[in-house]
Structure 1
Amino acid sequence: MFKKLLQPLRITRLYFYALHLMLLLALTSVIVLLSGHRFDFPSLFFPKEGIVTVAHRGASGYAPECTLASYRLGVRMKADYIEIDLQETKDGQLVAMHDKTVNRTTNGTGRVKNMTLAELQSLDAGSWFNDKYPIYAREEYASERVPTLREIFEAFGKNTRYMLETKDPEEYPGMEEKLWALVEEFDLKAHVAVQSFSKESLVKIRSWDKDVPLFQLLWYNRTARISQAMLTEIGGYANGIGVNYLRIDESYVHKVKASGLLIYPYTVNYQVNMENTVNWGVDGVHTDFPDRFREVIAELDNGEV
């Protein structure tokens, strides 16, 4: 009996790895508790899945932008987020529309804020796409209407995540309150991020929720430059920035990331540009073609590009 006790304990390889995994998880939990921050476990163990695909106005390369058809395609193509630009109607309803007017993407004319929801939803929001992009045209797109944020939430629920943009919030006092009320009504706090060119809009939302991902949008007319002071300021209320891809380069991306902020360039539609963003180390990309971007990521991971 004593001889058996003196023999070395045999530990199987499976037990060895399981023990170390439990120790790693325990150590990670302690770090998270001490830091007080939410931790993204998938990003820890699956870093290659960390590049986020944002379906820009839905999969708008294949279907009329900011319509349920476009958002359905974005979800079907496994985009991490569907991006929703928000305007407000004359009777106070939040709707998905990028432009201030309906002129470009419907058969009507006029400003969104001067139209009631009924007037807005009487318009054809899809035929323009069929005319402009006949290769992707579908007869059913002619029946697409401008959806409300409520209708989008009802359609997709928790089956996707939403990148919500407050467009021109200075023209729509109380827009953020209406947005957040809908997020809470549908229990979607863990499924939304918010972006805006308006710092004030983002600061207001941050005051209601310390965990919701917020992105400060930036636009450059020439080669992008950003100071450390500005990065520090943005980091005080937001998690990252969204910036027009054609004005940035690898050094810009590295500077932003070194400051602790995320960077999601927009709008990246060509393969060479998609490859650049991945190689530069961006955290996410806005694209009209989410399926193409996911293919580029897969090809780079497999060394095919």
Structure 2
Amino acid sequence: MTPGRPLVFAHRGGADALPEHTLAAYLRALDEGADGVECDVRLTRDGHLVCVHDRKLNRTSNGTGRVSAKTLAELDALDFGSWHASAAELDEPLADHTRLLTLDRLLEALRGCGRPVRLLIETKHPSRYGAEVERRLVDTLRRHNLVEPTAAAGVHVTVMSFAALALRRIRTLAPAVPTVYLLEILPPGVGRGRLPFGARIAGPGINLVRSRPALLANLRAAGHQTYVWTVNDEPDLAAVLAHGADGIITDRPRFVIDRLDDAPRV
């Protein structure tokens, strides 16, 4: 990260160029120079954390039904990439473009990328498995030696959620792991800088930033960092930069990085 400029996170790996939550998308984002990447995790029926955003499989795979009702083997048999426009450019489907991505595989790839990288992990709720999502997440991070920042092996993990109780569970299970309170609407007190359960980073959506132009300044005045999602075009990027966001979560990491490179240094 260049001093004085925000971190750039590839949302779902950079979902504009390649299929979201595929290993190919994450590796491309890192090659493009993203400071970090973002993923969503859900728990399978047999207890594995997989990187899928939606509760149902219909939009991003050739399967149907709920992710939580499937085993890892059942999900691994599906195609998670051929729906994307980029598939037309391939002579034949490649596993990294179409295969289900588990959190374990993503962590292994990030640890092997050869440079420091930040990973934002969003736990999805409501879930039929409730608190087990965070318990399995912390167990996974512990296996990869990622629950303490000093043992991160080049990967710095931050956990995000719209569910305040999920943040409380992370604080209890892994107090050294930073947390982001995601915001689509503004709960009471948050506009004045109060975040729940020890969260030090606020994650407002771009629509909320548009409607509450003083929000980022208020959060900063209260001592919190801000990561804004999902910033994909010129007007939104200009607004977020003007408001002094600490992190930009985007489907288009190369676009954001290029604009930051062209911006005058302050």
TM-score normalized by the length of structure 1: 0.76
Measured after TM superposition, the shift of residue 275 of structure 1 is: 1.8
Measured after TM superposition, the shift of residue 176 of structure 1 is: 0.9
The amino acid of 1:62's aligned partner reads A
Does 2:200 match 1:246?
A: no
Deviates more, 1:188-197 or 1:206-215: 206-215
Match for residue 188 of structure 1?
A: 146
The amino acid of 1:164's aligned partner reads I
Does 2:246 match 1:283?
A: yes
Match for residue 70 of structure 1?
A: 25
Q: Give the counterpart of 1:292 among 252, 255, 258.
A: 255
Deviations 1:140-186, CA, capped at 9 Å, x for gaps? 55641111111111222164221001001542231111111111111
Match for residue 268 of structure 1?
A: 231
Does the aligned pair in 2 maintain the 1:67–1:146 contact within 8 Å?
yes
Distance 2:197 2:261 in 1: 34
Match for residue 198 of structure 1?
A: 163
More helix by share: 1
Measured after TM superposition, the shift of residue 201 of structure 1 is: 0.8
Distance 2:256 2:181 in 1: 23
Distance 1:83 1:229 in 2: 23
Does 2:137 match 1:179?
A: yes
Q: Give the counterpart of 1:147 among 101, 104, 115.
A: 101
Measured after TM superposition, the shift of residue 209 of structure 1 is: 3.3
Distance 2:183 2:200 in 1: 14
The amino acid of 1:234's aligned partner reads L
Distance 2:140 2:100 in 1: 18
Distance 1:63 1:97 in 2: 14
The amino acid of 1:115's aligned partner reads K
Match for residue 35 of structure 1?
A: none
Call closer, same or farther: CA 1:283–1:181 in 2, change over 3 Å: same
Match for residue 211 of structure 1?
A: 176
Distance 1:290 1:82 in 2: 9
Distance 2:89 2:226 in 1: 33
Match for residue 119 of structure 2?
A: 162
The amino acid of 2:42's aligned partner reads Q
Call closer, same or farther: CA 1:246–1:233 in 2, change over 3 Å: closer
Q: Which runs of 5+ in 2 are unaligned?
A: 150-155
Using CA pairs below 8 Å that are at least 6 residues apart, which structure has the higher relative contact order?
A: 2
Provide the aligned C-alpha RMSD in A. 2.2
Distance 1:260 1:302 in 2: 24
Call closer, same or farther: CA 1:265–1:55 in 2, change over 3 Å: same
Distance 2:241 2:193 in 1: 24
The amino acid of 1:296's aligned partner reads R
Q: Give the counterpart of 1:82 among 21, 24, 37.
A: 37
Deviates more, 1:241-250 or 1:106-115: 241-250
Does the aligned pair in 1 maintain the 2:164–2:196 contact within 8 Å?
no
Does the aligned pair in 1 maintain the 2:206–2:230 contact within 8 Å?
yes
The amino acid of 1:199's aligned partner reads A
Deviations 1:202-247, CA, capped at 9 Å, x for gaps? 1111123333221011113xxxx56546655416510111121023
Distance 1:193 1:256 in 2: 18
Match for residue 198 of structure 2?
A: 237
Measured after TM superposition, the shift of residue 291 of structure 1 is: 1.2
Call closer, same or farther: CA 1:120–1:229 in 2, change over 3 Å: closer
The amino acid of 2:74's aligned partner reads E
Match for residue 102 of structure 1?
A: 57
Please identify the structure whose Cα radius of gyration is greater.
Answer: 1
Does the aligned pair in 2 maintain the 1:197–1:216 contact within 8 Å?
yes
Q: Give the counterpart of 1:256 among 185, 210, 219.
A: 219
Secondary structure class of the residue paired with 1:301: coil
Match for residue 47 of structure 1?
A: 3
Call closer, same or farther: CA 1:115–1:124 in 2, change over 3 Å: same
Does the aligned pair in 2 maintain the 1:265–1:285 contact within 8 Å?
yes
Does the aligned pair in 1 maintain the 2:135–2:173 contact within 8 Å?
no
Call closer, same or farther: CA 1:169–1:237 in 2, change over 3 Å: farther
